Amino acid sequence: MQERVWFTWETQRRNANLAKAFGCEYARFDHCHRHSLARYPLSVFQTIRELYRRDYGLVFAQCPSIVLCALLGLLRYVRRFDLILDVHNVILDQARDSSLLGSLIRFGFRRADHVIVSNANLVDEVRRIGGSPLVLPDPLPEIERRELPDRFAAAPRPIITFICTFAADEPIGLFLKAIQRVDRPHSLFITGRRSKAGDLLSYESSRIQFVDFLPEEEFEGLIQHSDLLVDLTTRDDCLVCGAYEAVGVGTPALLSDLDVNRSTFPRGCLYAKNELDDYVRQIEEFLDNRERYRSEMQEFRSDFEQSWARIFRRVSGALPSQERRAS
């Protein structure tokens, strides 16, 4: 098998997991906290250096970064490798723009051998842009068994953890208004950097805590020992990372009521329309049936893993092979 590498310019669980699954060298050059005048030149330099360090036959790259994908679209003809892009659905929205970024996305798509997306609802859009789509959901994350961090140990049960990054598509404020209406014991912990929470911090109370960006060990301990994980989006056709993490640790999840969520995570989850009253209904439904949802999620894990393995074999068989081309 030809040598493989997976490039990413940010830290995200999907990258590490898929790099391992595809047997890739994992080349993560994450300088996101540097100024862009330093971040991009440094990332470009490290990427080119890695491509010349080894003779890679198959190169994977996460998109975003748009610059990374356009760069590899150019370099594939110099270093003669096959190129696979793994694309977040926000990139498909940007690809429609007439801006420079939109042009770079279309350039990368058209020079890649395949474009991987997380679900079948995105296939037609990839084709419209000029890419050759493959569908592959995230694999379940490999999370070590951890204790609940001491800082959360005294919290009243049930513990609800809202996994978020304070992105524009996360209806955090609406959910906080809803949970304030739930007059039953609970503790709500909101992950993500407090510095990005802005006016949402006004909701903080004895029941609602913004816990800031947690070290990986603490985050993994918190989600394993939570009673419910919440990960919401206003984007159609978006599979959120928190849903996979919920399945991985066997914790029930509250997700946005999207067809793609219902088909990918059919058990162990609750689905809420992004409306205040429906959030309240679904939270109360969970509180009434906690053990049933936990049992369903823990049983669903093995079904998901078997289904994912079948999809992965199909995608792996579709990848370009320099050995096949040479024979």
Kindly tell me if the per-residue pLDDT of 37 is higher than 90.
no
CA distances, 221 to each of 17, 190, 242, 295 (Å): 19, 14, 14, 19
Average pLDDT over residues 211-234: 96
pLDDT, tens digit, for every residue of 69-97?
A: 999 999 998 999 999 999 988 788 788 77
Phi, psi dihedrals of residue 74, rounded to the nearest 5°: -80, -45
User: Contact at 8 Å (CB) between 243 and 265?
Assistant: yes
pLDDT, tens digit, for every residue of 169-192?
A: 999 999 999 999 999 999 999 999
Would you list the domain boundaries of the chain? Answer: 4-136, 150-306
| Residue 34 confidence class, pLDDT cut points 50, 70, 90 | confident
Q: 320: which DSSP letter?
A: -
Reduced to 3 DSSP states, what percent helix, strand and coil does the chain have, rounded to the nearest 5?
A: 50, 15, 35
pLDDT at 322 (0 to 100): 54
User: Topology of 150-306 in CATH?
Assistant: Rossmann fold (3.40.50)
Strand pairing class (133-135; 114-117): parallel
Coil, helix or strand at residue 219: helix
Q: Supply 248's token pair.
A: 């991985």
Q: What is the CATH number of domain 4-136?
A: 3.40.50.2000
pLDDT at 327 (0 to 100): 41
pLDDT at 1 (0 to 100): 62
pLDDT at 324 (0 to 100): 41
CA–CA distance, 56 with 257 (Å, rounded to integer): 42
CA–CA distance, 151 with 238 (Å, rounded to integer): 32
Among residues 76, 277, 26, the alpha carbon closest in space to that of 175 is found at 277
Same fold, 4-136 and 150-306: yes
